[in-house]
Amino acid sequence: MGRIMAIDYGQKRIGIAVTDQEQIIASALTTVHVQDIFNFLKSYFATEVVDCVVVGEPKQMDNTPSESARFIEPFVKKFSSLFPAILLQRVDERFTSKMARQTIAMSGLRKKARQNKERVDAVSATIILQSYLEQKTLR
C-alpha cells in the first residue's frame, strides 16, 4: 500500500502532508514554493509509492469556488497530465488555514515560530489530509 499525499496549494507556497504507508497517520511533510512543486513531486514519487494525491478545493460559504480556485485549476490539469497513474481527489478546504493557526497557537511554540507562514501551510495540508482520511473511513 502506498501513501496518500495532501496539497494545500497557495499562490506562493504549497503545504504538503503525507500518510504513513498504512494510510493511518497524517503528518506534515514540507512546504514548497509554487515554481518548485513539479520538480519536488517528481523526486518524491521516484522514491515513495503514492496511491492518491488530495488537493484542497477552496470554496465560499455558498459552496461556489473561491477566487483562489483559479490558481489551483492549472496545477490540477498539469498534475493529471504528468502523473496520470496517480489518483487525484479534491477535498473542501474551507477553514483549514484558520484551524492550522489555532492548532499552532495551542502547540506552545514561541510567537515568532507560530507566525511562520510555511508552518501554517504544512499544517493546513495535514488538516486536509486528516479530513480526507476521516471521510474515507466513513465510506
Predicted local distance difference test score (pLDDT) of residue 57? 80
Q: What pLDDT, on the 0 to 100 scale, is given for residue 1?
A: 86
Q: What is the pLDDT of residue 34?
A: 95
Q: What is the mean pLDDT of residues 105-129?
A: 66
The CATH number of 3-138 is: 3.30.420.140
Mean pLDDT, rounded, for 28-35: 94
What is the reported pLDDT for 114?
A: 45
| Lookup: cell for 35 | 515554481
Distance, CA of 112 to CA of 2 (rounded, Å): 36
| 56 in Cβ contact with 9 (< 8 Å) | yes
Q: Is the pLDDT of residue 74 over 80?
A: yes
Residue with the three cell numbers 485549476: 73
Position 4 pLDDT exceeds 70: yes
pLDDT beyond 70 at 117: no
**Interatomic CA distance for residues 63 and 65, integer angstroms:** 7
